Structure 1
């Protein structure tokens, strides 16, 4: 019997979604290459959190221990007025018992290093900015800014909100009148955000750093459109985020600008927020009656590592066409307030890899039609949840950053709900936890209802040939339903 080769996958973008996809393809023995436009890893961005929605995949890959080495488990979420009076707090320390995992908080570049270490250097190229591509029934060809050309069978656009792959794909589809008008609409912008992570600090001045658990503190500005939060990280560091709610006119003006996690002229915003007070457990300064301000953290952060970004959102309808497919921010840009942007990019990677695995068994050639079928399957599995999380993230942004009296009222109510009620809502969302369906699955907690996941037909056939049977170790299943409660 003729053995047909698996498709070669070209991945544009070495973000978290692109790297995780590469790692899973490596395990699936599907050839791939990652093209990253930057010349090296840039240590930008603030704290990032991963939870039960994606941590089973890290456990499947044997990377959970590596993640835990660079992270703190988050135990509480505290909310305060600008004068540091408490609004309320949410205790999440007990969620692990029912969800199976803590929410782990870490510095984004630290996770990047963990993922990058899993990819052979021959399979990733830096300084490779995609400028265009063509696709036909025989394959896909990409062109990079250094006048090089590369060929493959599948192109994955994992290159962020301002995806070059998406831009080129949509231009091609416009010519044949195949693109929905909504996909050409600009991003919706509601906030501008400044982020940074300090150099190692003195634990005597900031005793919270002596704790091996992450404490999240959010402060709501009074008579100002600002919200700022801080959280402790391994390595005696504190991450800070300042969000400014934009008025409608300003939001419309910035909606037409490209937005990326890069350093820029931050001086104006730094001067505006420098004297904002913050509370991070009890510090030596607070014990003396002094007030800690964001300027204390900014002065302990390298200027080139403070970045500013417009917080945007958009759910695209077109995720694939021909041999090209999008993942992550390239097809669903979310507000970061719910901590779901990176999580959903990685969930995309998991489901897409599962779909590619099923068409790569070698019994049949990987035709354009079979690739399109796999892409449709991927979108059908992921679109409803991505849509839910775009809306959920929008709601969380209003909860944490909104300045109207109704938003302030809702905020006070939510942060004073009974722990059991908060836990109930969290556990419902924790039930969405896709796994790699061609690797042994991680057992699920007994009392957690899990959203159903499509099994791998190829993997089931491979197990049957060995006299084995696939079983995801969980009895309870919940029906698929997405709504904002």
Structure 2
């Protein structure tokens, strides 16, 4: 009997989510191709963290060892007033025994390079900006800005918070009067953020780099709407991030500006922040210690790799339409305070890949109806957790960056939380750890309560058949 072929998947966006999905589809034996609008992806961004919510999937793919080579394990998060008076610390070390994994922090472009190296070069096309989408019962066709067209069975919009794919399918839904009103509104802007990562520094001038571990500090501005972070990274680098809380009018104006990652229009903000003190003493080279500022880090960073972006929050209700489905920031844009943005993007990729694997069982043809059912399954599995994380990221942003007396109080409480309570809260969230259900799963650490996950019927059937064949007569 002839087996029905799997769907051909078009992926718009070669960011972390698009690459991770491609790696999963490669393992699943599902054909795909990535179309990235940029001619080349610049190494923009700062520090990024991954934890036990997504590391089991890295383990399954054999990527965990490569990740640990570019990362530091997390240990302590320290919080300071602008005058460098210590407010408190959060000890996030020692959870590996209970959660199965440390939390790791690294330079975002380093992870990007690891993931890109796992995708065959012939399956990624750069300088291919999607400008049109047409879909019907027979398939989906994308049109790129160079006038070319590409046809497939499924289109995945992994093209970020300003997703062109989302805009195109929402336009079609508006014309058909089927888009929820809430999805017609744009994201809410809360902060403007500047990030960068220094070139390798001299540990003699920045002794904090001698620790060979992640030194994570946050400083809260006094009588100003700024919060700034410094994070030490492998290879003697320091990542910095400065967030400015916007008032309602400024935030509204920001919605109409260009919010893409860009090194342009940075000078004004750099002048405002360069004298902000940081909790790192330096050595002037003649035996004297001197206080460092953000300006010292900015001056040690390639100006083209310092970028500014608006931090926005939005959970969309519509995750798919026809043969098109969205993942990552295209459907749930989170504040970075909870460290869950990239994690949730990759969790989307895992669950979507699981659904597409079952769709591609070869027993039935991949019809539009079955594709819609797979997309609905994906959304049902992911939406509740994404909703929780969007709301949680907003709460964490207020606590870590807010200036009201209530926010300062909560901040002090959280940063002085007993280790046993911190462990309880961490392990509760660590129980959500979606795995790749068409690969051997990672064992659960003793005592960790895991959120149940939908199994793969196709994988279970295939394993049962294999065991039957291998059973001695």
Give the TM bin, normalised by the shorter chain.
over 0.9
Structure 2 partner of 1:335: 335
Task: Write the deviation string for residues 7-61 of structure 1: whole angstroms up to 9, x where unpaired.
Answer: 0000000111110000000000000000000111211001000000000000100
1:351-370 mapped onto 2 (5 Å cutoff): 351-370=351-370
Output the CA distance in 2 between the equivalents of 1:21 and 1:115: 10
- The 3-state SS of whatever aligns with 1:222 is coil
1:94-113 mapped onto 2 (5 Å cutoff): 94-113=94-113
Output the CA distance in 2 between the equivalents of 1:264 and 1:96: 41
User: 2:309 aligned with 1:296, yes or no?
Assistant: no
1:162 touches 1:258 (CA, 8 Å); kept in 2?
no
Structure 1 partner of 2:177: 177
2:282 touches 2:289 (CA, 8 Å); kept in 1?
no
Per the TM alignment, residue 249 of structure 1 is displaced from its structure 2 partner at its CA by 1.1
Per the TM alignment, residue 173 of structure 1 is displaced from its structure 2 partner at its CA by 0.8
User: 2:459 aligned with 1:459, yes or no?
Assistant: yes
1:434-449 mapped onto 2 (5 Å cutoff): 434-449=434-449
Structure 1 partner of 2:372: 372
Output the CA distance in 1 between the equivalents of 2:157 and 2:291: 46
- Give TM-score scaled by structure 1 length: 0.95
Q: Any stretches of 5+ residues in structure 1 without a counterpart?
A: 470-485
Per the TM alignment, residue 288 of structure 1 is displaced from its structure 2 partner at its CA by 4.0
Structure 2 partner of 1:41: 41
Worse overlay, 326-335 or 261-270: 261-270
Structure 2 partner of 1:77: 77
Per the TM alignment, residue 328 of structure 1 is displaced from its structure 2 partner at its CA by 0.2
Structure 1 partner of 2:317: 317
1:238-317 mapped onto 2 (5 Å cutoff): 238-280=238-280, 283-284=282-283, 288=288, 290-317=290-317
Task: Write the deviation string for residues 382-422 of structure 1: whole angstroms up to 9, x where unpaired.
Answer: 00000000001001111111111111111011101101101
1:63-142 mapped onto 2 (5 Å cutoff): 63-142=63-142
Output the CA distance in 1 between the equivalents of 2:34 and 2:258: 23
User: 2:400 aligned with 1:405, yes or no?
Assistant: no
Q: Any stretches of 5+ residues in structure 2 without a counterpart?
A: none
Output the CA distance in 2 between the equivalents of 1:285 and 1:182: 55
Per the TM alignment, residue 466 of structure 1 is displaced from its structure 2 partner at its CA by 1.3
Task: Write the deviation string for residues 290-315 of structure 1: whole angstroms up to 9, x where unpaired.
Answer: 21100000000011100000100100
Output the CA distance in 2 between the equivalents of 1:189 and 1:168: 22
1:196 touches 1:301 (CA, 8 Å); kept in 2?
yes
Per the TM alignment, residue 208 of structure 1 is displaced from its structure 2 partner at its CA by 1.9
Aligned alpha-carbon RMSD (Å): 1.3
Output the CA distance in 1 between the equivalents of 2:454 and 2:401: 37
- The 3-state SS of whatever aligns with 1:292 is strand
**Structure 2 CA distance for partners of 1:61 and 1:221, relative to 1, 3 Å:** same
Per the TM alignment, residue 212 of structure 1 is displaced from its structure 2 partner at its CA by 2.5
1:186 touches 1:256 (CA, 8 Å); kept in 2?
no
Output the CA distance in 2 between the equivalents of 1:97 and 1:203: 32
Output the CA distance in 1 between the equivalents of 2:146 and 2:296: 43
Per the TM alignment, residue 99 of structure 1 is displaced from its structure 2 partner at its CA by 1.0
Per the TM alignment, residue 468 of structure 1 is displaced from its structure 2 partner at its CA by 7.1
Output the CA distance in 2 between the equivalents of 1:152 and 1:319: 19
- The 3-state SS of whatever aligns with 2:279 is coil
Structure 2 partner of 1:16: 16
How many aligned residue pairs are there? 468
1:276 touches 1:293 (CA, 8 Å); kept in 2?
yes
Worse overlay, 438-447 or 251-260: 251-260
Task: Write the deviation string for residues 234-278 of structure 1: whole angstroms up to 9, x where unpaired.
Answer: 111000000001111111111233422221111111000110000
- The 3-state SS of whatever aligns with 2:277 is coil
Task: Write the deviation string for residues 316-350 of structure 1: whole angstroms up to 9, x where unpaired.
Answer: 00000110000000011111111111110000000
- The 3-state SS of whatever aligns with 1:392 is helix
Output the CA distance in 2 between the equivalents of 1:97 and 1:399: 29
Output the CA distance in 2 between the equivalents of 1:211 and 1:128: 43
Output the CA distance in 2 between the equivalents of 1:412 and 1:283: 28
Per the TM alignment, residue 98 of structure 1 is displaced from its structure 2 partner at its CA by 1.1
- The 3-state SS of whatever aligns with 2:75 is strand
- The 3-state SS of whatever aligns with 2:243 is strand
1:285 touches 1:291 (CA, 8 Å); kept in 2?
no
2:282 touches 2:290 (CA, 8 Å); kept in 1?
no
Output the CA distance in 1 between the equivalents of 2:212 and 2:266: 31
- Give TM-score scaled by structure 2 length: 0.97
